[in-house]
Chains A and B, each alone.
Chain A
C-alpha cells in the first residue's frame, strides 16, 4: 500500500492575531492509523476542521485519492468519504439511537431498514447497540458507539477521531482499538488525535507532530518513547511533578451514606457514598464522565444540599450548609466546566475573583465589595499561576481554556483550603501547564490540606493520588492505595467494560 489516500501540502490558515496552521504538509496512506500530536493550541483542531470542510484554508492544497479535495462544507467532505467523530458528542438525549443516526445522514433509509443496518454494522465491528434505546440512558462509551456507527454507515475512506478515549474505561479502550484495527485492516485510514502517548504507541502506524501551527516532526510511534514524543510536542524537556509523601493525618471530611438526586435531567444520582478523607492526602476519584462527578462536586461545594449527617467536616455536620459558609470553613471546590460554572465568561478576572474568593480573602465590608482587594487578589492569582493575560480587567472569555483553568485552580488554591475538591483539573490544558497544576495540588496536600481530585485521566490520578476510588453510576468504590494498582484492577473498579463485546475477529481476518 504505497499510494496516498489524503495528501496535504503547504496548508496555511490564519485567524486574527494567530496563525493556526503554517505550511502544514503530510500524507496518509489507505488503511493507515495516523496520529496527530500536539499541545492545546498547536493547530490540530483547525487542521482536522479543514479536512472535514468546516474551515477554509488561506493557502495550500489537499488531495484525496489523487484528486484535488476542497470540501466547502462537511457534507461535501462526507460525500468524498471523510467521516469524523467529535470529542463532544452531538446527540439528542431525548431521541433514540436510530433517530439520532438518521438525523446525521444525507438521505436516511426507512426506519426499519436503518435499524437493520445499524445492527449489521454493530455486529460486524463488535459494537453492540440497540437502535431503539434512548440516547439519554446510554453510557458515554455507548454514545461514542452511536457516533462511530453513524460514521461507519457512510463507508468512509478516512475516519477522523478527536480524543476518542477520554471518556472510556481501559477495557472499552481495548475494544475500541480492536474495532479501529479491524477498520484499518479493511483499508479505512484513521486520523487519530490524542494526548495519550502510550495509546498512540500501541495503536498508530505513523505520527505527525504539530507545535504552534507548524509540523515539527514525524515518527513511528512504536519505535519512539513517550517521553521523546512529549518533548517534541513541548519543544523542551518536561517537568515531572515531585511528591513528598507524608503519613496520612487525621480525618477531616467524612461522607456517610451520601445519597442525592441529580439536579439535572439525565444526570446521575449519588448513591450511598461512604468515605473518609485525611489531612495531607490526595484522594483520586476515577470514572467515566457522567457517572456522578458533577453531582459529587456539587454535594461537596454546597451547590447541592443533602440531608443532615451525610457530610461532616471535622465532626461538624455541613450537609445543609450553603457554599459561602462552607468556604468560610475551608471547603473549596473547582468545577469541571470553566466557562459558565467556575467562571462567568463575560465578567472580568477581578469580578471572577470575587465569585468564589470573597469570603476568605476579605473582599467584603458590610456587604460592599472591596474592588481594590479583589483586583489585588486577581493579580496575585495571575502571577502565581502564570496566567497569560494582559491584566485582571480582561473578560474571562478572552482567555484560552488552559489559561482560564490555571486562573480557576489558582483562585481556589491560593485561598489555602482545608479541603479542596477539583473536577478535571487539567482538562484541555497543555502538558507543561498540566504539570504545574498537578504540582500545585501536591504542594497543597503537603501543607496538610485534604485534596479530592476527580478526573477521567487515569495516568494523572496514578501520578498524584495517595488513594484511589472509582465512581460508577453514582456509587463510589472503597478507596485503595494507589501505589501498585494495575490497569486491569482499575478497570474493574470503574465498572468493567459496560458489557462491550470484543470485535469479531473472524470478520477482521476475512477483511484482511
Chain B
C-alpha cells in the first residue's frame, strides 16, 4: 500500500528537483505519444529539445527562443505575484490584448511622426495602463462585491478578443491597407518600432524588460515587506490579517501589477514580432504564462528558466511539425503534460511516499 505522509517542513531538495523530474517524465510520456503517432520518439524529442539550440538551423531558431520567451516571462512574473497570494488572474491574455490595443492606438495617433524618444515611452505607459485597467475590472468587482476573479478575468479575455477584432476592422485599420483588416505596420515605422537591443539575437526591448522584471520581482518577493505580505496572504489569510495586511489593497496591487505587465508584453509584441494589430494577434501567451509561472515554482528566477524551456517547446514544436509532420495538437498536448506532471510531482515537496502497511493515522 502506498501512502503519503506530510513532511514536518517542505523539502528544499524536492522543491528544486520537481521541475526537472517533471520535464523528464514529460519526455518519456511525450515520446510514447509520438511513438503512438508513428514517429521515432527519440528523434521527435531530439527535434524539440536539441535541434533548436544546436541543430542545423540553430542560428534561425535561437533568437526565436528569446522572442517567444520574453512575453511569457514578463507575464508570468506578474501572475506569480498574485498566485503567491492566492489571487488568481486567469485573464492575462485579455490584459495582453488591451495593452497592445492601447499602446498601438497612442502610437498611431502620432503617425507619421518619427519622434521615437517621445512616442515609444508614451506607448509603453499606455500599454501598461491598458492592461492595468482591464485587470482592475475583476479586481474592483472582487473587492467591492466579492465576485470570483477567476471567472471574471477569464470571461474578459473573450470580451478583449471581440474588442481586438473590432479594432482591427474599424478604428485602428490601416487607411492605406486596401480595406484589409489590421493596422499599419508598427514595427517598420521608425516612430513606433520595438528595436532589438543586440541585433540578431531576438533580444528586443520587451525581452530586456522581462529580464529586469525578473530581478525586480525576485527582490520584491524576498526582500520587500510587500513581497512578504504577498507570501503570507497566500499561506494563511488570517495570519496576514493579523500582520496588518489589507486584503482588498493587496488584491488590487496583485491584479494591477500582473495586468500592467501583461499589457506591456502586448505592447512590445505588437510593435515588434507581431508588427500590427490584427484579428489573430493574440496567440495564447497569456494562458501559457500560467503554466510558466507554476513550472517556475512561482519564483521569478524559476520563471526565467521555465519561460525559456516553454519557448523551446514552442520553437522545437514548430521545427518538429515542419520536419517530422507532427500535428500542432500533439505539441499542445506535450505542453499540457508538462504542467500535469509538475503538479503531480509537486506533492513530493510537502509529502513523502511511504510504501508498506499503514502505521500511523
Contact = CB atoms under 8 A, between A and B. Distances in A.
Contact of B238 (A341, A358, A394): A341
Interface string A259-301: 0000000000000000000000000000000000000000001
Interface string B236-247: 101101111010
B225 A15 contact: no
Interface string A366-377: 011101000000
A323 B8 contact: no
A323 B358 contact: no
Interface string A299-325: 001110000000000000000001111
A397 B9 contact: yes
A351 interface: yes
Interface in A336-372: 337, 340-347, 351, 354-356, 358, 364, 367-369, 371
Interface string A133-168: 000000000000000000000000000000000000
B193 to A, nearest CB: 37
B211 to A, nearest CB: 22
Interface in B215-239: 223-226, 228, 231-232, 235-236, 238-239
A398 interface: yes
A324 B359 contact: no
B36 interface: no
B10 interface: yes
Contacts of B242: 301, 303, 323, 333, 335, 341-342, 355-356
Contacts of B226: 367
Interface string B343-361: 0000000000000001111
Interface stretch (A49-57, A110-118, A169-177): A49-57
A303 B243 CA distance: 9
B7 to A, nearest CB: 9
A397 B361 CA distance: 18
A367 B225 contact: yes
Contacts of B236: 340-341, 344-345
A323 B247 CA distance: 13
A329 interface: no
Nearest to B358: A56
A301 to B, nearest CB: 7
Contacts of A436: none
A351 B228 contact: yes
B235 A345 contact: yes
A346 B239 CA distance: 12
B9 A395 contact: yes
A15 B231 CA distance: 32
Given A345-B235, A355-B232, A15 B243 contact: no
Interface of A: 15, 49, 54-56, 301-303, 322-325, 327, 333, 335, 337, 340-347, 351, 354-356, 358, 364, 367-369, 371, 394-395, 397-398
Given A56-B358, A56-B359, A354-B225, 9 more contacts: A54-B361, A340-B239, A341-B242, A344-B232, A344-B239, A351-B232, A355-B243, A364-B225, A397-B9
Interface of B: 8-10, 223-226, 228, 231-232, 235-236, 238-239, 241-244, 246, 358-361
29 contacts: A55-B361, A303-B241, A322-B246, A323-B241, A323-B243, A333-B242, A341-B236, A341-B238, A343-B239, A344-B235, A344-B239, A347-B235, A351-B232, A354-B225, A355-B242, A356-B242, A356-B243, A358-B243, A367-B225, A368-B223, A368-B225, A369-B223, A369-B224, A369-B225, A369-B228, A371-B223, A394-B9, A395-B10, A397-B8
